[in-house]
Amino acid sequence: MKKMTATLTLALTAAAFAHQGHDHAAATFTLAQKNAAFTLAGPASLASGYTTFAFSNTAQQPFTPVVARLKTNANDAAVKAALGQLMASHGEDMSAVEKIAEFVGGSAGVLPGKGYEFGANLPAGRYVVFGFGASEEGKPLYDLGQYRSFTVTAAKNGAAAPRADVKATLKDFKLELPTTVKAGQQTWEVTNGGQETHHLMLMRINAGKTMKDVEAFFKAADPSAAGAPPFEDVGGLETISAGRSAFTRFDLAPGDYAVACFLPSAKEHAPHFALGMLAGLSVK
Ligand SMILES: [Cu+2]
């Protein structure tokens, strides 16, 4: 979940989902900050069905919201303990979290003053939304207020998923998506067709640089010594569990892009991009 490029500025393009003639169900969560403490405001209850999550960040640092559906009646302390195990293993040990929750999706990093949306189908149940990462002092952000639980009721919201312009499937360990897509506003449907948890991150390769430069940057033994990245982060869809799909919007300028999953594999003791989840994409 923690990207190797977490120190980079995320140039996230926020875009509203277009209404496509169906009912639209949205859940807005707003992060605020006062000194080292955060508050995450949002609805306590939602109807089930296709829901667009809108994240707004009024804090002074990037916000990486992740939504998870609880599989058991675990309380908040149990959820935080499982997240703590995940963080202590630098994202590698998902075992405690996977016992009690599945990941619905989220944002790679909402910049201060910005917003971000993603959509997913929500069956009834109990959910949490939390900010992934830690403070400079090493305290988990979910312990500093970046945490909120909500209930999805059996009542149906009547909303339908948007039509996808691009379909991407995340496998263990490869990315299945077109090699060329059209420039402009577009909806991507991202499906986790693997066994492991994945995410999808998009980067625009700088002029004069190629996928070879991107590979060399990520494969450097010490990424902090690898120099300036040969790309700019565009954004992406955060953590999604096996078997689930989610939708995200991009506004893509023509150019060469790289798509990657940075999550680590506990089995393979390697990040997924190094195992094959790194692909080039041409936007025309
Ligand atoms: Cu992955």
Per-domain boundaries in the chain: 26-156, 166-283
Ligand 1 centroid–CA 33 distance in Å is 31
For residues 244-255, average pLDDT:
96
Whether 48 shows a pLDDT value over 80: the answer reads yes
What pLDDT, on the 0 to 100 scale, is given for residue 227? 82
What pLDDT, on the 0 to 100 scale, is given for residue 162? 94
Ligand 1 centroid–CA 191 distance in Å is 11
Ligand 1 centroid–CA 247 distance in Å is 17
CB 75 within 8 A of CB 115: no
Ligand 1 centroid–CA 237 distance in Å is 11
Ligand 1 centroid–CA 228 distance in Å is 24
Whether 19 shows a pLDDT value over 70: the answer reads no
- Please give all residues whose CB falls under 5 A of ion ligand 1, grouped by chain where several chains appear: 198, 261, 263, 272
Whether 6 shows a pLDDT value over 90: the answer reads no
Ligand 1 centroid–CA 259 distance in Å is 11
Return the percentage of the chain with pLDDT > 90, whole number: 75
Whether 224 shows a pLDDT value over 80: the answer reads no
Q: Where is pLDDT greater, at 5 or 36?
A: 36
Q: Quick one: DSSP state of residue 175?
A: E
Ligand 1 centroid–CA 36 distance in Å is 31
Ligand 1 centroid–CA 106 distance in Å is 14
* C-alpha–C-alpha distance, residues 33 and 61, integer Å: 9
What pLDDT, on the 0 to 100 scale, is given for residue 23? 58
What pLDDT, on the 0 to 100 scale, is given for residue 223? 66
For residues 8-19, average pLDDT:
37
The encoded tokens of residue 161 equal 């998923």
pLDDT tens digits for range 64-101:
999 999 998 899 999 999 999 998 888 888 889 999 99
Q: How far is CA 183 from the centre of its chain?
A: 22
Ligand 1 centroid–CA 20 distance in Å is 31
Correct CATH for 26-156 of 2.60.40.420, 3.40.50.300, 3.40.50.970, 2.70.98.20: 2.60.40.420
CB 125 within 8 A of CB 70: yes
Ligand 1 centroid–CA 206 distance in Å is 24
For residues 172-186, average pLDDT:
97
Closest to 264 in 3D by CA, of 197, 165, 184, 205 = 197
Q: What are phi and psi of 218, to 5 degrees?
A: -75, -25
- Given pLDDT bands bounded at 50, 70 and 90, which one contains residue 277? very high
For residues 160-176, average pLDDT:
97
Ligand 1 centroid–CA 272 distance in Å is 5
Ligand 1 centroid–CA 267 distance in Å is 12
What pLDDT, on the 0 to 100 scale, is given for residue 91? 85
Ligand 1 centroid–CA 193 distance in Å is 11
Grouping H, G, I as helix, E, B as strand and the rest as coil, residue 196 is coil
The pTM for the full model equals 0.89
Ligand 1 centroid–CA 223 distance in Å is 19
Per CATH, the number for 166-283 is: 2.60.40.420
Closest to 161 in 3D by CA, of 66, 250, 245 = 245
> Among 132-141, 234-243, 274-283, which stretch is predicted with the lowest mean pLDDT?
132-141
What pLDDT, on the 0 to 100 scale, is given for residue 43? 96
Ligand 1 centroid–CA 148 distance in Å is 26
* C-alpha–C-alpha distance, residues 78 and 96, integer Å: 10
Ligand 1 centroid–CA 217 distance in Å is 18
Cα distances from 12 to residues 18, 155, 156, 250, in angstroms, run 18, 34, 32, 9
For residues 149-175, average pLDDT:
96
For residues 261-284, average pLDDT:
93
Q: What is the mean pLDDT of the chain?
A: 89
Whether 3 shows a pLDDT value over 70: the answer reads no
